[in-house]
Amino acid sequence: MNQSRDGQALYRKYRSKSLDEIVGQQHVTEILKRSLAQGRVAHAYLLTGPRGVGKTSIARILAHEINELPYDSETTHLDIIEIDAASNNGVDDVRDLRDKVQIAPVAAKKKVYIIDEVHMLSKAAFNALLKTLEEPPEHIVFILATTDLHKVPATIISRTQHFAFRSISHADLVSQLRTIADAEKLKIDTAALETIAERGGGSFRDSISLLDQLSSFADEKTGIDAKLVENLLGLADADAIARLLEAVLQRNPADVVEQLNALEQAGVQPTTTTEQLIRSIRTQIGNKPQLAGLLDSLIDVLRSPQPTLKLLSILVQAAKPRSAAAIAAPVAAISQPIAELTKVARTTPSKKQSPAPLVSPPSHAPATEPDASAQPTVKRKTKKSTGPIALDWQQLLDETRQNHLALHSVLQKCTHTLEDDMLTLFTGRKFSKTKLDDPKYLVKLHEALATQGIHELTIITIPTAQPPADEKLAAIAAMMGGGQEVALDGAQETA
């Protein structure tokens, strides 16, 4: 951790010392100040919200103001006890606490216990704490803090005054960073502070710590600018993100691949690129609503075990022209490792055509957004075909029964048709379709098909019963508007 000019870490030096100094949580501090002014002190408070937004700071300030003591973050008080639930989470720890709360305060009006990350307590420990919260001694106040409210039993929550903290607004973060930078005589431009605030993710602590780390790189003459911040934090250049989004909007998959390749060579991690894309889209979505579908897809990249491939697949798919007259042509893969795992198709629209919107529902589609689980999903194997496809359905069922029983249980309830290289699976219900669309099931289905020498096949899953033969093609065509094409190569998920 870098330190301020007087040797103290910035986030500690500029930690709030009173409720009036707390920024961004006025909905909490105003209620607490009124309660204290009226002499109304609860026996237990629960502070919840994202990390780094001031929960622990307010807990310490509140403990001191309850006892009318001056708050100094560098000193401790015998009657204000802080407990880290992560390392004191057993039932014996809480039983020991129950014994100690019976002892009166040494010097203050109230003995205050601050239990941080209270969600880490074991079930038995929570039960032991509950008994104390139900009938606490008059001289005791509990202040519980956690980032994970959903892990705290409802019986505990109901016996506390609950205050939900919010993420700090971007404007408040930038303003506070500017105040600290000016106080430290640190030369830094506003664009750099904006970037630091974005990377801070709504956390004062994280944002101030980033500023602290970057302060040692400040040049006395030029100071710190946004470009330096981007380089030091391994971020993509803002212009590069803009060019990447423009390539998607212009339906230019070749340019998308080129931009991603450049970012990879510059050392920008795919998750970082994704986070920057998400932020950029959020600021533009009012003027470019066609990016909404892309925003939803990008979230999956952050959860993917293969974020590079996932990002590549999503952006190329989003940039692919939707015109029926588009002509497919290969494009270079983003890098050699990716080239070995997947191949990307580029389609070029007619010169007279303008780029199609990212979401193009058929004319008969309802005005409201359709249920994604009710739409057909297309999965395309990309290995080169060696001849006409002959599928033995019973062999497929036998193979999955032996090697993937869960997949078999879904497939045996499906009906199917095979026309040229298109296998249509009629699942009969949304639940079965959702199962077949799961990447784990897709990989196993691909492996089962490969045992029959089938390596190139377009698979469509439709959550309805198979229509009569003379209506079949019409039914498929009617539902294809919401279909999504996903590329699979071998056992590697790329969508």
Average pLDDT over residues 309-313: 89
The pLDDT value given to residue 344: 37
Q: What is the pLDDT of residues 401-448, one digit of tens each?
A: 888 888 888 899 899 888 877 788 888 888 888 888 887 888 888 888
Does residue 258 carry a pLDDT above 80?
yes
The pLDDT value given to residue 439: 79
Distance CA 168, CA 379 (A): 41
Average pLDDT, the chain: 78
Share of the chain above pLDDT 70, in %: 79
Asked if 188 and 224 touch (Cβ cutoff 8 Å), the reply is yes
Average pLDDT over residues 347-366: 41
Distance CA 335, CA 266 (A): 12
Does residue 480 carry a pLDDT above 60?
no
The helix/strand/coil state of 46 is: strand
Average pLDDT over residues 266-279: 89
The pLDDT value given to residue 114: 93
Position 142 confidence tier, pLDDT thresholds 50, 70, 90: very high
Does residue 205 carry a pLDDT above 80?
yes
The pLDDT value given to residue 377: 62
Position 2 confidence tier, pLDDT thresholds 50, 70, 90: very low
The pLDDT value given to residue 408: 87
Of 424, 481, 417, residue with least CA distance to 458: 424
Distance CA 376, CA 357 (A): 19
Does residue 191 carry a pLDDT above 50?
yes
Does residue 283 carry a pLDDT above 50?
yes
The pLDDT value given to residue 229: 86
The pLDDT value given to residue 371: 56
Average pLDDT over residues 382-399: 73
Does residue 194 carry a pLDDT above 50?
yes
The sign of the dihedral angle between the CA atoms of 152, 154, 156, 160 is positive
Distance CA 47, CA 116 (A): 9
Asked if 344 and 312 touch (Cβ cutoff 8 Å), the reply is yes
The sign of the dihedral angle between the CA atoms of 66, 70, 75, 79 is negative
Does residue 309 carry a pLDDT above 60?
yes
The pLDDT value given to residue 381: 52
Lowest mean pLDDT among 135-139, 266-270, 345-349, 449-453: 345-349
What is the value of pTM for the model shown? 0.56
Does residue 189 carry a pLDDT above 60?
yes
Lowest mean pLDDT among 33-47, 135-149, 362-376: 362-376
Position 112 confidence tier, pLDDT thresholds 50, 70, 90: very high
Share of the chain above pLDDT 90, in %: 15
Does residue 25 carry a pLDDT above 70?
yes
Distance CA 480, CA 364 (A): 12
Beta bridge partners of 78: none
Asked if 319 and 252 touch (Cβ cutoff 8 Å), the reply is yes
Does residue 494 carry a pLDDT above 50?
no
Domains of the chain: 25-164 (3.40.50.300), 170-232 (1.10.8.60), 240-271+282-348 (no CATH), 372-493 (3.30.300)
Does residue 147 carry a pLDDT above 70?
yes
Distance CA 32, CA 398 (A): 66
Q: What is the pLDDT of residues 360-380, one digit of tens each?
A: 344 344 444 445 555 566 554
What size, in residues, is the chain? Answer: 495
Does residue 144 carry a pLDDT above 90?
yes
